[in-house]
Structure 1
Amino acid sequence: MTATDSLSAWLRVRREVDWQRAPALRRAAPDRDGFRSWCEGPVRRRDPLRAERLLAAHARAREDAVRRTPLNFALLAGWQREVLAVERAPFRAGDAWAKAGRERYGLTPHTRADFDSCLYEATDPAVPPAARAARAYLDVAFFHPFDDGNARAALLLLVHVLAREDIVLPEVGPLQTTRYADDPAGAADLAVLIGVLNRRR
């Protein structure tokens, strides 16, 4: 029996969450860039090459934030080429699976365009930055656009969305917990967690 399409579940949840309730964030950057610290610490200890690739992608994502580069799949694919050290990072060509096969992310002729629409919303000033960053992170998690490295792409996008608002989190490790496509409370809690981390010094 085919698993339920978790991407469809996420798109429903995405509409249900009251993103306006996300906490306000401080725009002053902390002394420590949590993404860089994460790369230089646990990632480098585990795999120095992986750390270097992530740092290169992070530099590009930050530069794109400063330039206010339009946010779309092509931009993410450029970062992902750095992350994976590949010449191409195309949108997946079939259904994707995660969580040992418990979640399936379907593919239709509209999936790529739907993803770009969601990315466009990540720059909507009418939505609080914490909500936009959380929602964009989950968009990558549940659209699962790449064949590999989606968790890294999601974190890079979250950092990029905040950087567009001159916000830098001093810590990112706690963001990397398992999320479920059909969990509206969990989606809202991710925005709250971003607010908590924003206040850490």
Structure 2
Amino acid sequence: MTVTDSLSVWLRVRREADWRHAPVLRQVPPSRDGFQAWCEGPVRRRDPVRAERLLAAHALARADAARRAPLDFALLAGWQREVLGETEAPFRVTDAYAKAGRERYGLTSRTQADFASCLREATDPNTPPAARAARACLDVAFFHPFTDGNARAALLTLVHVLAREDIVLFEVGPLQTTRYADDPAGAADLATLIGVLNRAGTAAIGQGH
């Protein structure tokens, strides 16, 4: 039995989703960087090497945001080489699978061009930053460009898109939730969750954390 192409499903969902009503984010002085805290906490306790590689990739993603580098596959591949500790991080050459094979992400002659087009929308000024960050994160998850480490690449992409707006989340742990390509409500929920975490950072500063 052929598994539905979840990438095609996602491309339809992302066109139909109402991204304009994502929560407004505040630029607040970060009392802590949630991604760094996540790496230094649960990731390091589980795998110190993985933590160090993620921190190195995060530093690149933040630096790329600061220099306003265009978000494209080459940028992601640079982060991914750090994540995987490899000298190369090419675009996959076959269909990809996730969630124990329940989602299949097809590969056609258009896949890389479609991915590039989606990534360019990460700086669309007509879409709220929370929506852009959520959408770009899900783009990476469902295009599944790499043979390994796509969840980490997706989270780095989310952090990068927010960093371009000088927004740093107080924590990222709650973002580690499984998302499905055919779930428009889940896509919108990710943008909402980014807003919640942004407000949590504001509250933490107010409490002196």
By the TM > 0.5 criterion, same fold? yes
Alpha-carbon distance in structure 1 between the residues aligned to 2:20 and 2:109: 31
1:32 aligns with 32
- The answer to whether 1:99 aligns with 2:99 is yes
* CA deviation profile, 1:133-158 (whole Å, cap 9, x unmatched): 00001001100000000000000000
Percent of aligned pairs with the same amino acid = 81
AA partner of residue 92 (structure 1): R
Give 1:42's aligned residue: 42
How large is the Cα RMSD of the aligned pairs? 0.5
> 1:25, CA displacement in angstroms?
0.1
Q: What are the residue-to-residue correspondences of 1:36-115 with 2, within 5 Å? A: 36-115=36-115
What is the deviation of 1:88?
0.4
User: Number of matched residues?
Assistant: 201
Question: Is 162-171 or 23-32 further displaced after alignment?
Answer: 23-32
d(CA) in 1 for partners of 2:183, 2:122: 20
Q: Hey, what's the Cα distance between the residues in 2 that align with 1:97 and 1:181?
A: 12
Runs of 5+ unmatched residues, structure 1? none
**1:10-33: per-residue Cα shift (whole Å, max 9, x none)?**
000001110001000011232110
Counterpart of 1:21 in structure 2 is: 21
State the SS of the aligned residue for 1:199. Answer: helix
For 2:2, give the aligned amino acid. T
TM-score (norm 1): 0.99
Equivalent residues in 2 for 1:116-195 (5 A)? 116-195=116-195
Residue 207 of structure 2 aligns with which residue?
A: none
**SS of residue matched to 2:97:** strand
SS at match of 1:122: helix
**Residue type at the aligned position of 1:156:** L
**How far apart are the structure 1 equivalents of 2:178 and 2:57?**
23
SS at match of 1:117: helix
The answer to whether the 8 Å contact 1:133/1:159 transfers is yes
Q: SS in structure 1 opposite 2:123?
A: coil
**Paired residue type of 1:199:** R
TM-score by length of 2: 0.95
Q: Is the 8 A contact 1:29 1:169 kept in 2?
A: no
Q: AA paired with 1:35?
A: F
Deviations 1:82-107 (A, max 9, x none): 00010100000010000000000000
- Name the SS of the counterpart of 1:104 in structure 2: strand
CA distance in 1, matches of 2:196, 2:108: 37
